[in-house]
Amino acid sequence: MKIIENLDDIKEPFKKAVITIGNFDGVHIGHQALFHEVIEKADVIGGTSIAMTFEPHPIRVLKENNHPPLITLYEQKVELIAKSGIDVLICVPFTREFAALSPREFVEDILIRQIGMTIIVLGEDYAFGKNREGNIDQLRTFAELFDFEVILEDWIQEANNSSDRISSTKIRELVISGHLAEVPKLLGRYYQIRGVVATGRNRGGRLLGFPTANINLHDELCPKTGVYAVTVEFKNIKYKGVANIGYSPTFDDHVFTVEVHILDFDKNIYGQKIRVDFISRIRDEKKFANISELSEQIRRDVEKALEILS
């Protein structure tokens, strides 16, 4: 997949560009359906399949501090879109100046003249241009004027005959409430965090007998506090593990941490990047009377995790 991170890097229009546009936070099953349709249409006409997204997420520019955490940071979003088979990813640097483009300027100057759009594939609630003034009806008017095709994809519904459509908002709700086992039905995979292993408080292995890798989360969506069965990927090898998210109430230090005990693992990975997939929630975080009780509970958590992950 070719990645373009600046519109000025597009020197000439793409051949018969078939494009979909969105923030694609989570790159969930609904987004994947859009990519599939784009690829299919491009194959039929001998064109180029293109996804356009924005960095940072527009709401972070327009609403500043009032924005939800991201399901997928940019690095992971790019990886997931690449896996879909899309030919080109255009990541537009989102600024207030870009947001001020009128709907016609966006369609005529960028999509038509610069990118060479022939077909656009979108969800039914797509809005674009300054103050989101552009809508599907206006896009159809532009389609007649500039001779391109508009294809609207039906939203993918949740399983079990639910009337709710798959959405990034619904996925965030599941993660925040700790219902991680339900996430793959919407996301198409387990919810993942990734980060560099930081130096912790040196008590997991020393005091409890269960050494942990500590990850600092920044903009990412964080699951509900508690203990989880997880898998951990390090240098393309997956390991089973147990993660604790919370404030370590037994130690009463009120410091938020994400700690992962990787099973059957003895490598020094400080400063190394790992990826953690959350499979299922085991229990709430709890304050124990002493370190011995906590250590025994962690032993039971490991047993439960092995049962879940087997």
Q: What is the CATH number of the domain that holds 119?
A: 3.40.50.620
161 within domain boundaries: no
Asked if 83 and 13 sit in the same domain, the reply is yes
Q: Which of 33, 141, 29, 52 is nearest to 98 (CA)?
A: 52
Q: What is the pLDDT of residue 216?
A: 84
Percent of the chain with pLDDT over 90: 72
The alpha carbon of 229 is separated from its chain's Cα centroid by a whole number of angstroms, namely: 20
Asked if 229 and 107 sit in the same domain, the reply is no
DSSP helix/strand/coil, 272: coil
User: Structural domain of residue 274, as residue ranges?
Assistant: 168-309
Taking only Cα atoms into account, the Rg of the chain, rounded to an integer number of angstroms, comes to: 23
Asked if 75 and 195 sit in the same domain, the reply is no
Model confidence, pTM: 0.90
pLDDT, average across residues 113-141: 92
Q: Which of the listed residues 153, 186, 211 is the one where a domain comes to its end?
A: 153
Q: Which of the listed residues 92, 121, 153 is the one where a domain comes to its end?
A: 153
d(CA 173, CA 188): 16
Asked if 185 and 67 sit in the same domain, the reply is no
For 212, the token pair is: 């942990």
Structure confidence at residue 254 as a pLDDT band (50, 70, 90): confident
Q: What is the pLDDT of residue 155?
A: 74
Q: What is the pLDDT of residue 205?
A: 44
Asked if 217 and 270 sit in the same domain, the reply is yes
Mean confidence (pLDDT) of the chain: 91
- 20, pLDDT greater than 70: yes
Q: Which of 294, 76, 83 is nearest to 203 (CA)?
A: 294
List the single range of 27-31, 40-44, 59-63 with lowest mean pLDDT.
59-63
pLDDT, average across residues 164-171: 90
> Higher-confidence residue: 5 or 165?
5
The alpha carbon of 11 is separated from its chain's Cα centroid by a whole number of angstroms, namely: 30
The number of distinct structural domains making up the chain is: 2
Asked if 92 and 207 sit in the same domain, the reply is no
Asked if 13 and 126 sit in the same domain, the reply is yes
Q: Which of the listed residues 120, 153, 186 is the one where a domain comes to its end?
A: 153
174 within domain boundaries: yes
162 within domain boundaries: no
Asked if 9 and 121 sit in the same domain, the reply is yes
CATH of the domain at 186: 2.40.30.30
Query: Among 203-212, 237-246, 264-273, which range has the highest average pLDDT?
Result: 237-246
List the single range of 109-118, 119-128, 203-212, 228-237 with lowest mean pLDDT.
203-212
pLDDT, average across residues 62-74: 84
Q: What is the pLDDT of residue 206?
A: 44
List the single range of 63-77, 116-130, 159-173, 296-310 with lowest mean pLDDT.
159-173
159 within domain boundaries: no
- 10, pLDDT greater than 80: yes
Asked if 54 and 119 sit in the same domain, the reply is yes
